[in-house]
Amino acid sequence: MKRFSPLILAFGLAFSAQASDGNDVEVLHWWTSGGEARSVDTLKEMMKREGHVWRDFAVAGRAGESAINTLRIRALSGNPPDAAQIKGPEIQEWGKLGFLASVDDVAKEQRWNELVPRRVSDYLKVDGHYVAVPFNIHRVNWLWANADVLNKVGVQPPQTLDEFFSVAEKIKAAGYIPLALGNEPWQETTLFELIALAVMGTDEFHKAFIEQDSDALTSNKMRETLEVFRRMKQYTDIDSPGRNWSDTTSLVIDGKAAMQMMGDWAKGEFLAAGKQAGKDFLCIPAPGTANQFSFNIDSFVFFKNGATQTTESQKMLAKLILDPNFQREFNLSKGSIPVRVDIDMAGFDACAQDSMQAFLRAAATDNLVASLSHNMAIGRASQIALFDVISRFFNDDNVDIDETMRHIRAAVLADRL
């Protein structure tokens, strides 16, 4: 949030939101695809049953970029919603500016410190106070495949990058789109991230993107990552410009494309379309990343309103999100795994079971990585700059690799400005 001038900030805070009356809560989020809407509907229903009114402010598009832009405008004009979907380091940015209300009392009552892994709760606190409530843990490094298409072509899902290229070649020859990708910067950066994980390995990836080490950001491994990334383009289709992620997943669901590399919210789309894991679609770790877990945690924050206290509706919302029944229901349809460590995984499908095992394994072997493309690793300024560099490189074969590496370094370091 270093981009808010003090004047604008003072204006925003001085005219801070109108209190919502009594039992209603306005919620700004970007869960609008089939699978996402199904998942969040559970929460709306639960709020209703508790006697609260959920006023929906859903802003579709670009994995939250449009929603966050809208939120900034609303917050700066003194009219923030009561709750909003914000995650990762951005929680700190908003919190440090004084916009967010503490939910410590709910956290204490529900014993969040015992329920939520430390790696997660660190994101949720500002100056030691809880200001955000987590929903889930999404794994970003997945490859989704249409089982029937792979069968018809006679190939197995690729486990390494080399296998990916040989499989993709065969799929292309058989007349299918090998890799479904929507040409939006965040989707391209998701693909870039998964290749970087495989090529650089966890330590080098961490050094580059989390420690923001200048040499790692321009290393030979970064060059190789960019080369592999560019090589993948020939396996995407020409209709990708502007296509959103769920329409892109539909290409795999409908058997037009064979594979998509995307976080496990994609599973929500397969399920919403009535497809079954292991039978209709397959989930495999993104090639070369079986030991790693790129994590992405969804959370809601609560905005201070006219009243000095969090409202009853805000508190109820915070409480319901960590309710064990909601944790099960929501994550079953969202594609993620519960964020509470005590939820029984019986009844979750093989993809979710694998995800939980992968999470525990990665935590034990230091292979948990904050997602670069999903606002978990870098702040907003860096994120926007990085999307731009990656997208430009992917879409224009004339863009030079050395220049791109310098721009990647500048984008990642932008956070420090």
Footprint on this chain of ligand BGC (rule: CB under 6 A): 30, 36, 63-64, 138, 245, 265, 296, 298, 374
- The smaller minimum CB distance to ligand BGC, of residues 36 and 82, is found at 36
Kindly state the smallest distance separating residue 190's Cβ from ligand BGC, in Å. Answer: 9
The DSSP letter of residue 290 is T
Count CB-CB contacts under 10 A for residue 274. Answer: 8
Kindly state the smallest distance separating residue 189's Cβ from ligand BGC, in Å. Answer: 11
380-386: long-range pairs with CB below 8 Å, 24+: 380/1, 380/68, 380/89, 380/90, 380/93, 381/2, 381/3, 381/414, 381/415, 381/417, 382/411, 382/412, 382/413, 382/414, 382/415, 385/410, 385/411, 385/414, 386/189, 386/411, 386/412
- The smaller minimum CB distance to ligand BGC, of residues 288 and 335, is found at 335
Kindly state the smallest distance separating residue 285's Cβ from ligand BGC, in Å. Answer: 18
- The smaller minimum CB distance to ligand BGC, of residues 54 and 300, is found at 300
Residue-level length of the chain: 417
- The smaller minimum CB distance to ligand BGC, of residues 315 and 374, is found at 374
Kindly state the smallest distance separating residue 370's Cβ from ligand BGC, in Å. Answer: 13
- The smaller minimum CB distance to ligand BGC, of residues 63 and 103, is found at 63
The DSSP letter of residue 85 is E
Kindly state the smallest distance separating residue 28's Cβ from ligand BGC, in Å. Answer: 14
Kindly state the smallest distance separating residue 334's Cβ from ligand BGC, in Å. Answer: 7
- The smaller minimum CB distance to ligand BGC, of residues 294 and 313, is found at 294
Reference 158, options 228, 240, 241; nearest CA is 228
Asked if 261 and 187 count as a contact pair (C-beta separation under 8 A), the reply is no
Residue nearest to ligand BGC (CB): 265
Q: How far is CA 258 from CA 94, 151, 234, in A?
A: 40, 10, 14
